[in-house]
Amino acid sequence: MPTKNEENNIQAFLASLPPQVTLIVVDASGDQTPALIQAARTDRTHIIQSRAHIAAARNLGAYAAQTPWLLFTDADVSFAPDYFERLQRYGCADAYFGAKRSQAAYAAYYRWFVRGQQAMAWMGVPAVSGSNFLVRRSAFLATGGFDETLSCNEDSEYGWRLARRGCKVVFAPELIVYERDHRRLRRGVVRKTLHSLTRCALLYTGLMPEQLRRSDWGYWR
């Protein structure tokens, strides 16, 4: 899990994570995020301090892990209470991506987002979210991980690349995380949607100009 200044989100995230699950955090914070993690979770927790951007941070955490499966997530979500129980039922594919919903604001937006994931999966195009993505470590290593030239949409691009390399990538809508931080949606639902659709279309078709790959187009501001 990459983190950067998540002190307002991290405690709710940690409360949803079972103690037996190993957590690797790649942290670029200037606030109390790492201290809050260390105070709340003393076992099975490893914090790597790095200023790497999100794609590189995900790779750093994955390479540090030794488990046969890697679960990528973000600090601004919480796992559903039955998430890890349901997770035990999966294991035949190379990768799984779950649903992201909201229990409060923008619930309708996230319902449509999940419907979009279902539609894309039906068409054979995995719409992966980095906040809810499980992949075999062997498949991850064989396919080179996340594209570090991308400062956002690295999750979508990696899901497509996995599928194109012959890996089986399955949508698992029963694996639910709940989004709590809606800052980007508050700046404009249409703006966020158009940003994602445009970038993803260009990346998927290979038409993204090289000079625009490294820019986030204002995503992190």
CA distance 185 to 113: 13
C-alpha to C-alpha distance for 167 and 78, rounded to whole angstroms: 28
Complete edge-to-edge strand list for the sheet that includes strand 77-79: 69-72, 133-136, 95-101, 169-179, 77-79
Distances (CA, A) of 159 to 20, 50, 119: 27, 24, 15
pLDDT at 33: 98
Mapped onto helix, strand or coil, the DSSP state of residue 211 is helix
Q: Which of 63, 109, 70 is nearest to 87 (CA)?
A: 70
Q: Considering Cα of 46, then 56, then 193, then 98, what sign does the dihedral take? A: negative
203 close to 157: Cβ distance less than 8 angstroms: yes
Give pLDDT, residue 221: 75
Nearest-angstrom CA–CA distance, 147 and 117: 21
Coil, strand or helix at 155 = helix
Write down the CATH number for the domain with range 67-213.
3.90.550.10
- pLDDT, tens digit, 9 for 90 and up, residues 136-184: 999 999 999 999 999 999 999 999 999 999 999 999 999 999 999 999 9
Q: Which residues of the chain have pLDDT under 70?
A: none
Domain ranges of the chain: 67-213
Supply the pLDDT for residue 204. 95
- The amino acid at 212: L
pLDDT (0 to 100) of residue 107: 96
Q: Please give the model's pTM, rounded to 2 decimal places.
A: 0.95
